[in-house]
Structure 1
């Protein structure tokens, strides 16, 4: 595995990361909720030039800090308003996290092989690839945090790197707000565990914190002065602290919710996680051991006991898991210590699942996913055979197989499978744009509001009950009705403007 020197590995990791995060990035519609919402906010920044006080359809957007929306608005200015430019900033910054994790691992392990394995594991984790390609905040937040850890570790050799710690904290705040308290606490605990207390006396650290956080402090101060207590209540109370003590918008789950998320999407790397965590515990007094244990335990325990549960909250734990798995794979590579029976059985099960997927996608007539399933079945079968024969080459086979599987997945239009949970928005949005002026408020019989529909239609589509629909109709509003509601609702004269995806757009008749 020592084919290339460190700089070349960094370049290779960056290139293959950019490929998997950027290929066919704009081939699917924006997803509800975050993607559609951030795209709406960024488009209003782009159109109005109101960078300091972002709005969502004319109303103050107080939920999140604006760094992601600023970056998307910049991309809109360069490449126009489209899916690709919406997702580009987050995807690029997430991809940079792979070489950053290699650098962190190189400093933590003091050797390159486990660092390389950790970076490749992170590169081929399904949740990391998928969420990093979406216009969401988690991938770029992780990359800023990895940069922070790199600066902390590098500061042991050169105190000037401590300047970067403060700037990374500021970037995290401007991206995802109060999550900086949890990530900052992990970094601080690691500082103590790694016996770097002398760094706390370094003027570089405190100057970096002062300068790096100045833009975030200035932005928060401007919002508070402009919106008053409303900003504090929405941004801090509703969006941050309420999520600790109560389920927000019904997003709840048991304490083991995130362990189940790991089980759903963690294979095949989950096979090597117990061994990695055991190694970390055995070497808990080392830099990498303390980092893995602190990051995994503190972060997982905190989000597990939060009352609000969402799948992407688990994202920042993946770099720590990748480091643990990378350490275990490195140990296997060097010592050829195999758990033959367990690994062979599980890899064979994944191979059989790949064959099952092949049959399923044949029925669904999804050619790219058929090829994906075949690649998964073949690579896992080869890896299982190599494990059975105690051949360490199963590790590069797993990396190659998973990389190709993920490339094929994102090349299809199924990598955002949530889009199939509701009607496709683009045909309905095209119908609305054809008949309604931008900014028009339209009332819909659909069960909930969809920011993606608002984005594509350039109108505000509000979900409403039948009673409200009737009331708004007599106030000369457009209605977007599904067929059962259209047959059920009793209205006076109206005109049908068009139909798309089983939705009909109607307006009061012009007398």
Structure 2
């Protein structure tokens, strides 16, 4: 692409010149990307409580691996978790084990340790976005692409959650970065990179992807490669003539560089041991639940009420790819004009088929299309550094969504703290105002044609708002931190481990923090539980308390109401009022 889509000569500002110098050096580029990733991902990483429901389910299953020493089976309390492969649990267990060795207090219930694989993978995906973009668009656009991924709100959310999606993105980027190099070498009639390093990276990415999230990474490759073959004609193919047929004229020879036979064998060697072990251990139930129930249910219908019409992902892109989604809309005309260029063709083959498949799956969750967000960021950068983004009236209106959404997000964060806590989040207010100012600067710079500066101002908007939300607003929202407050209220110096039961509040975060032996009985069962010994506590939702107290009186059990914990369940928004009772 660098040969065919040369950026126009233009007068560079001081900031633009500094950007070019950074992009020209691999070392400075890596430093800039790591620094940007730190600014984007650090706030809130260690302070967010376990975020129900998926994150604590993963963390609890990883914790139970450490408790039991069984690294094959995946369990949440007594229930087998057979929807996802084992990869993320191994990574989380390794991170927590390292934390224990380094002396982290209460490491097994310290949620940020379980987030380390997600954070590390998110940083790796940012760096790989740059590395993937290098052969496609050149140094400056590649650097800007990586910075946009660092500032993408969806990747920031996934980096702060101990689950699969950031890690899945990293494994996908390992594969795509190799495909980009082999494809561009073929289209530019260059000798493909030799040796086994790149094929090994690809197949390690494939194996890791399968162990993290099953077939998703394979699906992306299976859609991208045939699409490229279908779109690309061999340079030496005759325009017409007998023999060979349509396939013989397609450019598929570059795929040979992946050494498919050896790669598939290598992948099977890496992934088969666990799959064989879990199939034996579960009598085939893993395959039935992970494929027959989890995956096929998502294809056939809206699973767990996460349904949506085709076009849902395009609609939510404005929020999940904030603050850069308006730039994607502005880049769309350029992408269409250059759709036959090899680099654009590669990016569209990566983006479009995968996106369409998930648009037509009934089950919709925003993170499902995260593996193609780097392609969007690279397309935006390519457009910016070649023809530039347009500056007509309608484009100015679209760009105006950047300050509009910044204002809305800042207002929501500050308003939530006031609504639930009756406090003013001063840090969030200050950083929110600065973010709005930066977004207005971005809008003006786009209108002036200072587009590199505009994207950097857009990035600054996101960074300021992330610090305002994660460091300024969410720490004040104690109303959502139900499980940590319950566990803290039950703790006593005399009891190193409090056995607990919970009635009416069954969120996975409570199981993770209170212990694997947390009981989830009815009101009568919780009263009986308190009567079975000391160092016991019961968490009883207000609507179940009459039955609970009646059973205590019938049994003659002495229990004291220690405190009440009220707040909001972030799953569904239900108001909670929970009494904490301790056995006497």
Q: TM-score, normalised by structure 2?
A: 0.77
Aligned to 2:221: 184
**Superposition pairs of residues 45-124 of structure 1, within 5 angstroms:** 45-80=65-100, 81=107, 82-109=110-137, 111-124=138-151
Go from structure 1 to structure 2 and tell me whether the alpha carbon gap of 1:196 and 1:55 turns closer, same or farther (over 3 Å shift): farther
Provide the residue aligned with 1:338 in structure 2.
Answer: 391
The answer for the alignment partner of 1:227 in structure 2 is 282
1:495 aligns with 2:558: yes
Paired position in structure 1 for 2:355? 300
Secondary structure, in 3 states, of the residue corresponding to 1:130? helix
Q: Secondary structure at the match of 2:474?
A: coil
Cα distance, 1:331 vs structure 2: 3.5
Structure 1 pair 268/43, CA: closer, same or farther in 2 (3 Å)? closer
C-alpha distance after superposition, 1:284-319 (max 9, x if no partner): 233332233223322222222222222322322321
Question: What are the residue-to-residue correspondences of 1:450-469 with 2, within 5 Å?
Answer: 450-461=507-518, 468-469=522-523
CA 1:142–1:347: 2 relative to 1, 3 Å: closer
CA distance in 1, matches of 2:304, 2:498: 26
Deviation of 1:357 after TM superposition, in Å, equals: 6.0
Counterpart Cα distance in 1 of 2:454 and 2:346: 27
Q: Which runs of 5+ in 2 are unaligned?
A: 1-18, 101-106, 186-191, 233-249, 566-576
> In structure 2, the residue corresponding to 1:452 is in which secondary structure?
helix
Q: Distance in 1 between matches of 2:53 and 2:319?
A: 22
CA change 1:246–1:460 in 2 (3 A) is farther
Distance in 2 of aligned mates of 1:205 and 1:163? 11
- 2:61 equivalent to 1:2: no
- For 1:426 and 1:89, the matched residues in 2 are separated by 23
Which of 2, 17, 27 is the equivalent residue of 2:37? 17
Separation (CA, whole Å) in 2 of partners of 1:315 and 1:121: 13
Partner of 1:401: 461
Listed as ranges, the gaps of 5+ residues in structure 1 are none
Q: For 1:6 and 1:59, how far apart are their aligned partners in 2?
A: 52
Residues 215, 223 of structure 1: CA spacing in aligned structure 2 closer, same or farther, 3 A cutoff? Answer: same
CA distance in 2: counterparts of 1:359 and 1:93, whole angstroms: 30
**1:426 counterpart SS class:** helix
Would you say how many aligned residue pairs link Structure 1 and Structure 2? Answer: 499
Report whether the alignment pairs 1:35 with 2:72: no
Give the drift of 1:223: 0.9
Whether the aligned pair in 1 keeps the contact of 2:118 and 2:158 (CA below 8 Å) is no
Q: Distance in 1 between matches of 2:301 and 2:511?
A: 29
Structure 1 residues 231-278: Cα deviation after superposition (integer angstroms, max 9, x where no partner)? 221122122122110222332223333223213343432222123233
Which stretch has the larger CA shift, 211-220 or 55-64? 55-64
**Closer, same or farther: CA 257–364 of 1 in aligned 2, 3 Å:** farther
2 CA distance for matches of 1:213 and 1:367? 54
Q: Which residue is 2:345 aligned to?
A: 290
- Give the alignment's Cα RMSD to 1 decimal: 3.1
**Contact 1:42/1:73, CA 8 A, preserved across alignment:** yes
Please state if 1:480 is matched with 2:542: no
Q: CA deviation at 1:496?
A: 2.8
The within-5 A match list for 1:354-373 is 356=411, 360=415, 364-373=423-432
SS of the counterpart of 1:414?
helix
Q: Which residue of 1 aligns with 2:6?
A: none
CA distance, structure 2, for counterparts of residue 19 and residue 337 of structure 1: 30
Looking at structure 1, the residues matched to 322 and 579 of structure 2 have their Cα atoms a distance apart, in angstroms, of 44
CA deviation profile, 1:73-110 (whole Å, cap 9, x unmatched) = 1111121321221111110111111121011111122x
The equivalent of 1:425 in structure 2 is 483
Q: Is 2:352 the counterpart of 1:324?
A: no
Shift of 1:367: 2.0
Deviation of the 1:479 alpha carbon: 5.0
Q: Which moved more, 1:80-89 or 1:290-299?
A: 290-299
Out of 219-228 and 187-196, give the one that drifted further. 187-196
Does the 8 Å CA contact 1:383/1:395 hold for their aligned counterparts? yes
Distance 1:202 1:423 in 2: 51
**Alpha-carbon distance change, 187 to 347 in structure 1, aligned in 2, over 3 angstroms:** closer
Indicate the larger mover: 427-436 or 124-133.
427-436
Give the Cα–Cα distance (whole angstroms) in 2 for the partners of residues 356 and 479 of structure 1. 38
Contact 2:483–2:509 (CA under 8 A) maintained in structure 1: yes
Q: Displacement of 1:351 after TM fit?
A: 6.1
* Contact 2:206–2:218 under 8 Å retained in 1: no
Residue 169 (structure 2) aligns with = 142
> Could you say what secondary structure the match of 1:412 adopts?
helix
Instruction: Mark the CA change 1:471 to 1:382 in structure 2 (over 3 Å): closer, same or farther.
Output: closer
Q: 1:263 aligns with which of 302, 318, 321?
A: 318
**Offset from partner CA, 1:397-452 (integer Å, 9 cap, x none):** 222332333244333362998x85x5621121234555999696734123xx3111
- Write the distance in 2 (CA, Å) between the matches of 1:17 and 1:380: 19
Label 1:358 to 1:274 Cα distance change in 2 as closer, same or farther (>3 A): closer
Greater gyration radius: 2
**Alpha-carbon separation, structure 2, partners of 1:306 and 1:354:** 29
Q: Is the 8 A contact 2:523 2:544 kept in 1?
A: no
| Deviation (angstroms), 1:9 | 0.9
The answer on whether the counterparts of 1:163 and 1:207 sit within 8 Å (CA) in structure 2 is: no
Separation in structure 2 between the aligned mates of residue 189 and residue 278 of structure 1, nearest angstrom = 25
Distance 1:439 1:330, change over 3 A: farther
Q: 3-state DSSP class of the match of 1:131?
A: helix
Q: 1:330 to 1:54 in 2, by over 3 A?
A: same
Residue 453 (structure 1) shift: 0.5
Taking structure 1 as the reference length, the TM-score comes to: 0.87
Would the aligned equivalents of 1:169 and 1:209 in 2 still touch at CA under 8 Å? no
Moved more, 117-126 or 254-263: 254-263
Per-residue displacement from partner, 1:114-168 (whole Å, max 9, x unpaired)? 2222222211111111112211211111111111111122344314322322211
